[in-house]
Amino acid sequence: MKQWLTLALRNVRRNGRRSLLLGGTIGVGTLALLLFVAYIAASLDGLRESTIRSGLGHAQLAGAGQFDGYAEQQLQYGLDRPALAQLETLLAQEPQVRRVVPRLLFAGLVSNGARTLNFEGSGVMPDRERQAFGAFQTLSAGVPLNAKPAGRYQVLIGKEMARRLSVKPGDSITLMTTTVSGSVNAMDLEVAGLVATGVPQTDLYLLQMPLETAQELLRTTKVSSVAVLYQDTAQADAVSARLRAAMNGAHVELRTWPALAPLYSQVLALYRNQFLVFGVVICIIVFLGVAAMTLTTIYERGREIGTMRAMGIGHAQVRRLFVMEGMLQGVFGACAGALLAFGAILLINAAHIELAPPPGRNAGVLLQMLWVPLYSSAIICALPLVAMLAAWLISRRIGRMPIMSSLSIQ
């Protein structure tokens, strides 16, 4: 086997121009696939982290029935203070839990006196909310919510809501909503700052206020849910399973972020289908390139093949030689393509290229590439196999070539 591999390597070096062309075809295919995978991986990673850290968390906990959406009254399945304290004590025992963020979700009307809009509000603990999810909320004007008594009656609103209401930080607005008992309550609040999420539709309805103020407005002591942020997203499933086991018997339900954000799984399926189609096309191009080059090589090296067979070397061994040559060219081309792809990824990430805003957003997205060792290794190994398959199939012609005819080829 070693001598055949050495002979195959000599043939590859001897036919340098042909080997360079074939290796270049495989290298370009490898480069294209690796860049495509790196882009998909970065896009999915960015979508996952933005979904988790924009306010959803790795998981959310609430009273049984809260996530079904069939509440007959406000906060029917909310967590009261004793239940919340018990839940926080349980979460504190899990070392992978990084942040615990209680929230009170409600909706109502917001007015500046002349105009009234709908809002989707949340009562939050300002310090916890900012530590957990502040990186994905850009404060375009004003100041953040203050956890001190001075900021008790302040509110953050979306940039688009502020534009439509013609208000700015320091102005007053009036909120009106339904309390847990079914009555209507209103409250005047000061606009502390404006939030820009990059999604105009979200900025139109977004409103945040201190949790105590929201509870005062709704006349309750409950919270709607608790968002939990873990130390590591890769351990999210295992941590959620441990928390479910620890809460066994309690009237609390845990929902993981994929269940709360089905869009991610849909985008993941879309990208998988795109990669499958793109990968098949690249493999077909590589297969045809290797097949055409191998077929040309067989006829150009007819006398060499005839001489080998006249010396008693069977056509199966000659085919093995061509397969080894295809393997070597595939390995060289795939490795060269991988090096180019890795360098291109580093350059693209360093260039800080900003893409146009995707649909539904008004802020550009930074072009990023993510090298995934597992998928990259699979691609680098797969393309030489495609080259070997093409060489093996086409080299069957060797068995049909009469020895004398091969020797007579000029």
> What does the mean pLDDT of the chain come to?
83
User: In the structure encoding, which two tokens stand for residue 114, read together?
Assistant: 């002349």
Q: Bigger pLDDT: 320 or 26?
A: 26
Q: How confident is the model at residue 215 (pLDDT cuts 50, 70, 90)?
A: very high
Residue 78 near residue 61 (C-beta atoms within 8 A): no
Compute the distance between CA of residue 139 and CA of residue 197 in angstroms, rounded to an integer.
9
pLDDT at 6: 72
What is d(CA 224, CA 211) in angstroms, rounded to the nearest whole number? 11
Strand partners, 63: 252
Per-residue tokens: 353: 């290229």
Overall pTM surpassing 0.85 (yes/no): no
Report the sign of the C-alpha dihedral through residues 68, 70, 74, 78, in that order. negative
Tokens linked to 360: 């539904």
Beta strands 59-63 and 252-256, pairing class: antiparallel
Instruction: Give the rounded percent of residues in the chain with a pLDDT score beyond 70.
Output: 84
pLDDT value at 306 more than 70: no
Structure confidence by residue, pLDDT tens digits, 365-405: 778 888 989 888 988 888 888 888 887 777 666 555 555 55
Query: Does the pLDDT at position 288 exceed 70?
Result: yes
Helix 315-351 to helix 16-51 angle (10° resolution) is 50
Question: How buried is 166 (Cβ within 10 angstroms: 0-12 exposed, 13-18 middle, 19+ buried)?
Answer: exposed
Number of residues that make up the chain: 410
Q: Exposure of 17 by Cβ count < 10 A (0-12 exposed, 13-18 middle, 19+ buried)?
A: exposed
Q: Is the pLDDT of residue 97 over 60?
A: yes
What Rg do the C-alpha atoms of the chain give, in angstroms?
32
Give the C-alpha separation, 240 to 253, whole Å: 11
Q: In the predicted model, what is the mean pLDDT of residues 95-120?
A: 90
User: In the predicted model, is pLDDT for residue 34 greater than 80?
Assistant: yes
3-state secondary structure of 399: helix
What region does 368 belong to: left with phi over 0, alpha with psi -120 to 50, or beta? beta
Percentage of residues in the chain having pLDDT higher than 90: 21
- Maximum average pLDDT range among 13-22, 283-292, 327-336, 356-365: 327-336
Q: Which residues pair with 196 in a beta bridge?
A: 138
Contact 86, 100 (CB under 8 A): no
Instruction: Identify the residue with better confidence: 364 or 116.
Output: 116
* Angle, helix 2-14 to helix 16-51, in steps of 10 degrees: 100
- Which amino acid is residue 185, in one-letter code? N
Confidence grade of residue 118 (pLDDT, cut at 50, 70, 90): very high
Cβ contact 305:322 at 8 Å: no
Beta strand extents in 116-232 (DSSP E only) = 116-124, 138-142, 154-158, 172-178, 184-196, 206-210, 225-230
The reported pLDDT for the residue numbered 212 is 92
Residue with tokens 């360098």, as numbered in its chain: 343
DSSP E strand stretches across 171-220: 172-178, 184-196, 206-210
What is the rounded average pLDDT of the residues 52-62? 87
The encoded tokens of residue 21 equal 């062309």
DSSP for 244-301?
HHHTTTSSEEEEEHHHH-HHHHHHHHHHHHHHHHHHHHHHHHHHHHHHHHHHHHHHHT
The CA distance from 145 to 192, in Å, is 7
Q: Is the pLDDT of residue 12 over 90?
A: no
What pLDDT is stored for residue 219 in this prediction?
92
Contact (Cβ atoms closer than 8 angstroms) between residue 318 and residue 5: no
Report CA torsion sign: 180, 181, 184, 186: negative
